[in-house]
Structure 1
Amino acid sequence: MSSTITALSDRALRDVEAIAARATQEVIDAEGDLADSTRIPVQDIADTVTHLIRDFYRHVAHGTDLDIPAVREVGRRRAGQGVPLAAVLHGFRIGFRHAWSALAGLAAPDDTRTLRELLDRSDTLWRLLDTYSDELRAAYRDRSAELLRTAEAERHRHLGTLLSSETDAGTRLLSAEALGLARHGGHLVLAVQGETPGQRAAWEAAIARDGAGVLWHIAPGGTAGLVSAAGHGASAVEAALRSCVTDGTARAGLSMQFPRVEDAPDALRQARIALRAHPGRLPRAHRYDEDPIATLVAAGGRDARALAAAFLRPLDALPPSERELLLGTATAWFDAAGSAEAAARALYCHRNTVRYRLRRLEELIGLPLKDPRNAARLQLALHTVRQYP
């Protein structure tokens, strides 16, 4: 290192406090995020600027190692303070500019030899600035990723507490408060299976159009979405969810609206029952109370299976293909609200064929389907077969 540059850097070191003070003031004036004393004490900015300018002069004067750990610590600290990375990098550039300008200002205006040496060494400034910036950027991003993971884990923990039936109402309310959820309002729970990140994004977009939001809880038992529609019209949000078409194998069940957020565990139970109640059916979210028979079958699976098996036992002697044909025809008939013509169109056969198959089914079970009670028993059995094949 040139003895002239060394001498200038040593002189700058003796005045580093004043140089850093000017740089600090410009940083504060230029960057509002750094000047927010509620997040970052002014002394923190001043100490950081002073330390890094001093480190720069020592390196230029005597070739000492750069204090890279200090730079990385600044990056991590600013990330934790919520300062945008662009603001931090801009502050670094301001500090370096002041450091170099002060160094050049110590040379006499007519000392062409010293000025030329400074110009020749200007690449040092940019190399050091690049080094500092790269280290700061890497540390900032590492810390941001850590904070994001921590925040996500904390959010997931609170949401799990809120949805758990094993926690008391007071604990659930504390978790709701931590999540920023209103205690009272329109809430819904969505239970989904087989969804993709893209499907969840589609549901989020549909909900957002009505001003509401969703928090996802992804666990081995399945994915649940807590929808908070307070103040945004829960009915509109529900309609948006129910109109969403699923993709691939995704299926969804929707709870009824509930006004108190601490009742989320029961709503999750409803949503999961609604999900089980409609296996492989229409590609949209089904609500807990839209088909009471299907819901009751899903809620009481063991009893429903026993009752259905007893009711359909006369069909056990049939070949599997014939049994499925008769049950499929009955299902189409119920879906068509009892219209043989509409059922025939759905099955691509003649209406008389539908009527023949229904009479055959009546003969086997020994009960006329014109009796609403018998029709209800058959419908319960068909729901059971569909849900528990």
Structure 2
Amino acid sequence: MALKCREIPELPGLGAIHLRGGSSGVDNTVRWPYLAENRSFSNWVRGGELVFVTGISSHRSPANLAECLHEGRDCGISGLVVLTGDAYIGQLPAMLSRLADGLAIPLFEQPYSLPLVDVTETIARAIVASERAQEPREGGLAEALIASIGSHQLERLTRQYLPGLDGALMDSRDLLEAWLNERGNQCAMAEALGCHRNTIRNRMNRLVEEMPPKAEPNEYFKTLVLAHLLSRP
């Protein structure tokens, strides 16, 4: 599933970004983040961009911010993110939120304290991941499921059914992959991973020890293997 505007504040580390207007357009697809350094950006976008304005290289008055929204509508951008803080753009004018509502363009506010490079990198990674999830792959039932529910929903389901065990899943990827490839044969798993059979046995035992108190071991292990299969790189 393509990344939507409504998902931006839900991405890891982006909780400080808030939607301030244009809620009717939150299902707009984000094709790519774009930093607008000039007063006008119409010559530099192709549609679907999430446009960021900072006021650092070009002064952004309330009137110019309104122009950005109008220009964004004409260019088909997915949304507008305004960085606010004491240094440049102090706060979003109320009229800007109302204008965003009228134009149905999602208007986000991002504090300057949140590094823009981290924000754009996180968004770019999410876009690439969503595109990869949509690519047809050989024998792709797992890929079809991911494409159907979306990578972010998959992460939420993993946290729901494996609470507090994200780390265990990451640390056990090689073990689970070997278990699948060698059909549970611990001698073959040890050879594949270049370790002693006792190491495999101990690691398998630790997986059981880390499961939630009320979990049924067989169901827990099946859930762990399924989560591994669905979250393969």
Interval of TM-score (by shorter of Structure 1 and Structure 2): 0.3 to 0.5
What TM-score results when the alignment is normalised by the length of structure 1? 0.22
* The structure with more helix, counted as a fraction of residues: 1
What TM-score results when the alignment is normalised by the length of structure 2? 0.35
Q: Which has the higher contact order (CA 8 A, sep 6+)?
A: 2
**Which entry has the higher C-alpha Rg, 1 or 2?**
1
